[in-house]
Amino acid sequence: MGAAEPAPAPASGPDVDADIVILSLDRIDDTLAAIESALGQSGITRHVWVADQGSRPENLARLEAFCAGREGLTLLAFPDNRGVAGGRNRVIAPGRGRVIIALDNDAEFGAPDTVAKAVAALDAEPSIAAIAFRILRYGDRQDDLSSWGYPSSLLPRAGETFEVCTFVGAGHAIRRAAFEAAGGYDDTLHFTWEEFDLSLRFIAAGMTVLYRGDLEILHKVSPERRFDWGGTRWFYHVRNRLYIEGKIGTSLPRRAVRWLAYLVKGTLNGAGMQTVRALPQSTAMLRRFRSDPASVARYRLGADGRAYLARNDAAHRGSALDRLGREVLSAMPGAKARRAAS
């Protein structure tokens, strides 16, 4: 029998502006630095929540010793890893801050007032559900291209502010009321596309996701304990995207074209079987999803929602043929962009 779940921690009080949440799985030195960065945020009232999801005993011991007795900090130690989506759900649940700030455990805030500015922006405009932060490399403060989750044509505008269709997990802010109304993250995604999936529900509800290039996160881009493209990451990438496309009503022929493009790309990168396995699993997940009318209703984009996606994403990516060509060419042997996802 596995270790028991930790007892529910006391919730942060109603006077807390923001809950800063961090998921931990080893990478202990980076994790401690991330917590210090969160505790150093000023200009607001905040509570820092850390959820450990199965770190090695020696690393968990260091984390517990670091967190013990520190004001404004709660550590939840879980025996298992429920992935990004499930982990965020359980670390967010006990909080009471009206804004949720997520920080990767290999990242730090770019300035001590980053959280205060994000809270002020959400307080000023009730239609904003989430704010995407600019993700920079820790060493040289250049844009972290591995964390650029938007059309590449928007990269020259990385320092600006504009509407987007998703946010990046390394650092972002979410209005708690919008998060709860949307039903939180979809636990079944486990890893990859969970931010896009949640953003689609925000957009379907008539809300906005805003990118703020002046709110910066410094990302150390550590390879330790990450999914490897040769392991399971490509499987999740394909499975989850096909599942999400089905959720929003993308037609079967269009989903089939996407899967074929993934199959070519995966095969060229030695991950063809991951692509094959992803298809039936995404179909089974979609079947279960469609059996719940309340969940289905949250993804009904309507004309306004589809116009939002077209204006803030598709308009910046070129034609479907262009996108397909980039997917395939980026996977060709010897290509500069040889990694298995764009």
pLDDT in tens, 11-64: 554 579 999 999 999 999 999 999 999 999 999 999 999 999 999 999 999 999
Mean of pLDDT values over 169-175: 97
Residue 1, pLDDT above cutoff 80 = no
Q: Running DSSP on this structure, what letter comes out for residue 4?
A: P
Both 138 and 170 in a single domain? yes
**Per-residue pLDDT at 87:** 97
Both 22 and 153 in a single domain? yes
Task: Report yes or no: 129 and 212 within 8 Å, Cβ to Cβ.
Answer: no
* Structural domains of the chain, count: 2
pTM, entire model: 0.90
In a domain, 8, yes or no: no
Both 192 and 72 in a single domain? yes
Both 112 and 214 in a single domain? yes
DSSP per residue over 22-79, as a string? EEESS-HHHHHHHHHHHHT--SS-EEEEEEEES--HHHHHHHHHHHTT-TTEEEEEES
CA gap 167, 199 in Å, rounded:
8
Mean of pLDDT values over 227-244: 85
Both 211 and 270 in a single domain? no
Both 254 and 204 in a single domain? no
Q: Which of 219, 247, 276 is the last residue of a domain?
A: 219
Question: Could you list the residue range(s) of the whole structural domain that residue 314 is in?
Answer: 233-329
CA gap 168, 150 in Å, rounded:
9
Q: Running DSSP on this structure, what letter comes out for residue 277?
A: H
Both 144 and 212 in a single domain? yes
Q: Which of 219, 252, 277 is the last residue of a domain?
A: 219
Both 210 and 316 in a single domain? no
Both 213 and 237 in a single domain? no
CA gap 155, 136 in Å, rounded:
12
Residue 308: closest CA among 202, 229, 176 = 202
Structure tokens belonging to residue 74: 């709660």
Both 173 and 239 in a single domain? no
Residue 223, pLDDT above cutoff 90 = no
Over residues 112-126, the pLDDT tens digits come to: 999 999 999 999 999
**Per-residue pLDDT at 231:** 73
Mean confidence (pLDDT) of the chain? 90
- 26 burial via Cβ count (<10 Å: 0-12, 13-18, 19+): buried
Residue 310, pLDDT above cutoff 90 = yes
Residue 136: closest CA among 107, 113, 165 = 107
Task: Provide the pLDDT confidence category of residue 277 given band limits of 50, 70 and 90.
Answer: very high
Residue percentage of the chain with pLDDT more than 90? 82
